Structure 1
Amino acid sequence: MSKSVVFAVFTCLLLTVSCQKDKVITFSETQISKEKETFVEIIIPKAQGKSKTAKNINNTLIGFACNVLNIDSAKNKKESVEESIKAFNDAYINFNETLLSNFDNKFSRWEALIDGEVSYQSEGLVSIAMNGSISTGSASSSLRFKFFNFDLTNGKSLATKDIINNMDAFKTIAKKYYDKEILTTYTSLTDDTSDFKLPETIGFNDDGVIIVYDNFELGNFTKELVEFTIPFTVVDQYLNY
């Protein structure tokens, strides 16, 4: 083989490795803290780079933050975090103006805490756990938890049906772990497991599949999450990623 051919092959290999490295998604953090009439703190992952994958991931996570802050009707939803924070603050001001017209006491300050972390990343998938908490000083205070799973080839947000290849078999296994968790850890909950349903989203960590139910999915307002992990060794055959 001539030197020119060897050089060409070597160059191609370098370019291939370089391209593969460019496709690796790394994460930093977006941190925002705003304190006016209300207090808002946001700490969420940010996919680095200008690729379509990074853009899709970041837009989805920002969308979650905006949804948490959107306590008014859906028609008033804002598209940016800054606009959503302002709308949240304005909603508190308007609420207090209405309250003070009927009562003498000002309502306690509203707070919104939104955070997230990368819980798992492989060559094909990244799983990000997002948590949003709104405190209005009343019984309506809420906690929202959601997993986002992304295909790293394009940044597409994956639904559970995209991840699981045999939903019935996976659900049967998940119910066994759920029943055990309720009986041993969450004995205060009287949830009926006869009509078992998977949560809206599932996630991953290095040990396996994470199942989390927030207070909306459990139908209670104890601010208590039900969480357990199913090992990869148990459900790996049912996973597409």
Structure 2
Amino acid sequence: MKKLLSIFSLIFLFSACEQEAESLEFLNYSVERSADNCDPETEKCSFIDLNFPVASGTENREKQINKEIENHLSYILGYEDEPNIGSVEDMADIFIQNYEMTKKDFPGYNTPWEATIYGEISYESDKLVSIQFNSEVFEGGAHGYSSITWLNFNPETGAIYSQDELFAEDFKAFIEDIFRKEQGIPEGEPINSTGLFFENDKFHLPQNIGFSNTKVILYYNAYEIAAYADGPYRMEFPQTEISEYIKIEL
């Protein structure tokens, strides 16, 4: 009888450990740098401010999630081909170093650079973790660049979902029909007939699709399908209205 109880105890502990391993926890992480140790809150100066969630833990899925987040921050800042970046702290240091090099190369240059990236979990369940990043980056020039992007993770594996894994094949046709109506593009006319920039004149879903607690958000950032002056384009749908096109359980 004692042996039987011991076996059941081991099974229970093993099961509990498995369940504990399945739960994901996130912590907020921030990195801030400024030129000449100035205070961006009180004076106009160059700074970078990164705030984003990180998965807490040392399992492979947590490591993969955090690596994907790091890669995404690098992409937003335009550092994906930078060879000397090993961490988010390196990204912040390089941003300030690049500004200081620009000042050195062009005496009299006094235009502050600014980069702010704020990431937060916009939706979380056993099947999906959606992280939204609001970004503003200015490195001189006529204007900066603002964007909203998402990473959609499979919390069981830590992998990023592809759009094909999230949505049914006919989802694109459903969205195109609504997009054409909203943009006043008649059926049968080329998608770029009103001045849009779809590659090869063929409609495609936006690079960024995210989730909130109740909605699915499709977001074309500036330059993705139109000129910068036209700004971004956003579409929102209640999850309940398009549930037939969503392949995972929300």
TM-score, normalization by structure 2: 0.78
- Whole-angstrom CA distance in 1 between matches of 2:16 and 2:120: 28
The answer to whether 1:110 aligns with 2:110 is no
Which residue number corresponds to residue 99 of structure 2? 92
SS at structure 1 position matched to 2:132: strand
- Whole-angstrom CA distance in 2 between matches of 1:114 and 1:36: 18
SS at structure 1 position matched to 2:223: helix
Amino acid at match of 1:87: I
Q: Structure 1 residue aligned with 2:147, among 141, 144, 148?
A: 144
Amino acid at match of 1:51: E
Q: How does 1:1-241 map to 2 (within 5 A)?
A: 5=4, 8-9=7-8, 12-36=11-35, 38-70=46-78, 74-76=81-83, 78-100=85-107, 105-166=108-169, 169-179=170-180, 191=196, 195-222=202-229, 224-241=231-248
Distance 1:131 1:196, change over 3 A: same
SS at structure 2 position matched to 1:215: coil
Amino acid at match of 2:19: Q
- Superposed CA offset, 1:72-98 (max 9, x none): x83546232122222212221222233
How many residues in Structure 1 have an aligned counterpart in Structure 2? Answer: 228
- Whole-angstrom CA distance in 1 between matches of 2:162 and 2:86: 22
Residues 144 and 214 in structure 1, CA contact (< 8 A), matched pair in contact too: yes
Q: Which structure has more helix as a fraction of its residues?
A: 1
Residues 99 and 107 in structure 1, CA contact (< 8 A), matched pair in contact too: no
Identity of aligned residues (%): 23
Q: CA deviation at 1:217?
A: 1.1
TM-score, normalization by structure 1: 0.81
- Note the residue ranges of structure 2 that are not aligned, 5 or more in a row: 37-45, 185-193
Residues 133 and 142 in structure 1, CA contact (< 8 A), matched pair in contact too: yes
Q: CA deviation at 1:35?
A: 1.2
Name the Cα RMSD after superposition. 2.8
- Whole-angstrom CA distance in 1 between matches of 2:16 and 2:114: 47
- Whole-angstrom CA distance in 2 between matches of 1:81 and 1:181: 40
Distance 1:208 1:17, change over 3 A: farther
Deviates more, 1:36-45 or 1:3-12: 3-12
Q: CA deviation at 1:56?
A: 0.7
Distance 1:109 1:53, change over 3 A: same
- Whole-angstrom CA distance in 1 between matches of 2:226 and 2:105: 30
Residues 31 and 89 in structure 2, CA contact (< 8 A), matched pair in contact too: no
